[in-house]
Amino acid sequence: MGKSIKGEASEVGSGSKGKSDERRGIVHADVSGATSKPRNKRVLANERTKRRIIRALLRLMNEKHFSDITVSDIVARAGVARASYYRNFSSKEDVIASAGAIIIDDFRQKTVGENRSVLEYESILRMFRYFRAYRAALLTLHRAGFTALYLSMFSEFIEDVAGDMPYDDIRRYCLPFYSGAAFSVFVAWLEEGMKESPEEMAGLFHRMVEGAVAAI
């Protein structure tokens, strides 16, 4: 209780690169999506406000139960007006959904232009590095009971990356298997304190996937 996201993250795992990634965290991701178009000052200011609100809620979630957090708590911690909160979000759950979307969008931007199968080792390694970079925020969401929400977002992302598959092809069920298995392994890794490196986890999961694919 009372710990910041950064402080909590330092207890989850170790490694200098991991700590650097954690300090970057969710609140420094580009909430604009995969675009480089110039934006006016008002839009940029509003995006900063949204990030401050998200950061405030995540930090408060490390201090008290989600249901006990009020809008007044959030705006006070974020240092924004109540009107700014309601201009951007309809509820606390909406803030959580936006936090998950930022994490997914940041990962999506890192994979733009790649023509690589999600089954390849390099793709899996990138995924586990991404999980580790956001472990503080993801641990907060997991502890608050929002794991299923993030799994749904992650599954949709994997389906987008993998592309469409004919509805009558039984292999279409491989994608839910892949995303569900990857996320389950990640949650177990997170709960165990991420003692293993992303490279070790990627190697393990790649062997698991290869074995599953070979059995089809």
Reference 161, options 191, 196, 203, 130; nearest CA is 130
Domain that residue 166 falls in:
5-214
Digit-coded pLDDT (tens) for 123-154: 899 999 988 999 988 899 998 999 988 889 88
pLDDT along the chain (216 residues), means of 10: 36 39 42 51 90 95 95 97 95 94 85 73 90 90 90 86 65 81 93 95 92 66
pLDDT at res. 8: 34
Residue 47 CA neighbour count, 13 Å, CB half: 14
Domain of 50, CATH number, reads 1.10.357.10
pLDDT at res. 157: 84
For the chain, the domain total comes to 1
145 backbone φψ class: left, alpha, beta (φ>0; ψ -120 to 50): left
pLDDT at res. 36: 45
pLDDT at res. 31: 38
| Residue 20 parent element (H or E) | helix 16-24
Q: How far apart are CA 134 and CA 106, in angstroms?
A: 10
pLDDT at res. 66: 94
pLDDT at res. 169: 65
